[in-house]
């Protein structure tokens, strides 16, 4: 996952971090998606959160990336939107997630 963020930050023009926990880019979404796919993360789905934020999720063998679009139209991601896949978590009812 670190490789993806490093690659994107070095090779693509980015506006500025909207916060210390988020990176936003001005490049075309397709270019960023190609960079993610280059590291073997594949498209899983796109959706809109209940708060109205469009998101796209990518999954690799052991990693994931969530991209989202701000109200200003910037494509963003960050450490809180990338990570490692873990085994299925159990809910208190024992049925899993």
Is the pLDDT confidence value at 20 over 60? no
33-69 confidence digits (pLDDT tens): 777 877 799 999 999 999 999 999 999 998 888 999 8
Task: Give the pLDDT of residue 94.
Answer: 61
Task: Report domain extents, the chain.
Answer: 2-84
88 — pLDDT class (breaks 50, 70, 90): confident
Q: Are 26 and 76 in contact (CB under 8 A)?
A: no
Whether pTM > 0.85 for this model: the answer is no
- CA atoms of 93 and 97, how far apart (whole Å): 10
Task: Give the pLDDT of residue 2.
Answer: 53
Q: Are 54 and 46 in contact (CB under 8 A)?
A: yes
Q: What phi, psi does 85 have (nearest 5°)?
A: -80, 135
């Amino acid at each position: 996952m670190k490789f993806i963020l490093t690659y994107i930050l070095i090779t693509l023009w980015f506006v500025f971090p909207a916060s210390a926990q988020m990176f936003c880019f001005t490049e075309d979404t397709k270019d960023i998606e190609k960079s993610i796919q280059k590291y073997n993360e594949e498209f899983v789905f796109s959706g809109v959160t209940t708060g109205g934020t469009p998101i796209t999720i990518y999954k690799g063998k052991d990693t994931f990336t969530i991209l989202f679009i701000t109200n200003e139209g910037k494509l963003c991601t960050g450490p809180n939107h990338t990570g490692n896949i873990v085994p299925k978590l159990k809910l208190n009812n024992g049925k899993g997630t």
